[in-house]
Amino acid sequence: MAIERTLSIIKPDATKRNLTGKIVAKFEEAGLRVVASKRIHLTPAQAGAFYAEHKERGFYGELCAFMASEPVVVQVLEGEGAIAKNREVMGATDPAAAADGTIRKEFALSKGENSVHGSDSEASAAREIAFFFSGLELVG
């Protein structure tokens, strides 16, 4: 399988509860390497631009407000099949449906406040990494 890079966000509900280290440990245990990392506080407009593909969905306003409510930790994770592997470690969007051992099963509060974001395809990984990081910030 190819070495890939994917964009991860540790969301406000998790940074607020001081869960950053525990979540990063799950990525590392799964064989993913953190090759870029920063803690930032998004504005609602920045959150809106990042989630532009969800603009027409009913939860968009709430999602943007939530993502701008507290700092987030944005990271690039690298590894074999990193995009799918990260989605596996994250678990289903709704923690009630997430498998045992996944981040969302263990830490998420609700379908909205679900602790982590992860790119869902090669195209979105490329767009989302470029949204937050310059090439100089990616250190493999």
Helical axes 82-90 vs 20-29, angle rounded to 10°: 130
Within positions 11 to 70, which residues make up the interface with ligand UDP, using CB under 6 A?
Answer: 59, 63
33 labeled binding residue = no
Q: Residue with CB nearest ligand UDP?
A: 112
Nearer to ligand UDP, 65 or 139 (CB): 65
Q: What spatial distance separates the first Cα and last Cα of the chain, rounded to whole Å?
A: 18
CA dihedral sign of residues 81, 101, 57, 64: negative
- 29: tokens are 């245990």
Size of the site for ligand UDP (CB under 6 A): 8
For residue 99, the one-letter residue type is A
* Residue 117 touching ligand UDP (CB under 6 A): yes
* Residue 114 touching ligand UDP (CB under 6 A): yes
For residues 55 and 51, what is the distance between their CA atoms, to the nearest angstrom?
7
133 labeled binding residue = no
Binding site for ligand UDP (CB under 6 A): 59, 63, 93, 111-112, 114, 117, 120
Binding site residue list: 11, 59, 87, 93, 104, 114
